[in-house]
Amino acid sequence: LYQYAQRTADYVRNLEELHAIRASAETLAELARIYNFEGDYARQEEALKELITLEQGRDPRHYGDLARIQATRGAPEDAIRTLRDM
């Protein structure tokens, strides 16, 4: 609903509050997607790290996304470490 009303900031705020109350993979994945869309890569990186931990590394796509962000942000060593952890 927020997205269609172009109220992304309100939507993100609500998701962050929901996450603070009860962390879930769905909420973190949605936050990571929105952070990426908005170009907020630092927050996306943190959300993906938390998501990987929460899911105990079950989804390799999150590792790939995280490694791409780390490499793009100038941390290729972190990207390599992330891919090795996959």
Per-residue pLDDT for the chain (86 aa), expressed as one digit of tens each?
Answer: 455 456 788 889 999 999 899 989 999 999 999 999 999 999 999 999 999 999 999 999 999 999 999 999 999 999 999 999 88
Residues 6+ apart with CB under 8 A from 83: 63, 64, 67
Residues 6+ apart with CB under 8 A from 12: 31, 34
Give 41-59 pLDDT, tens digit per residue: 999 999 999 999 999 999 9
- Tell me if 81 sits within 8 A of 67, measured CB to CB: no
Q: Is 28 exposed, middle or buried (0-12, 13-18, 19+ CB in 10 A)?
A: buried
Q: Where are the alpha helices (DSSP H) in 22-75?
A: 25-38, 41-54, 60-72
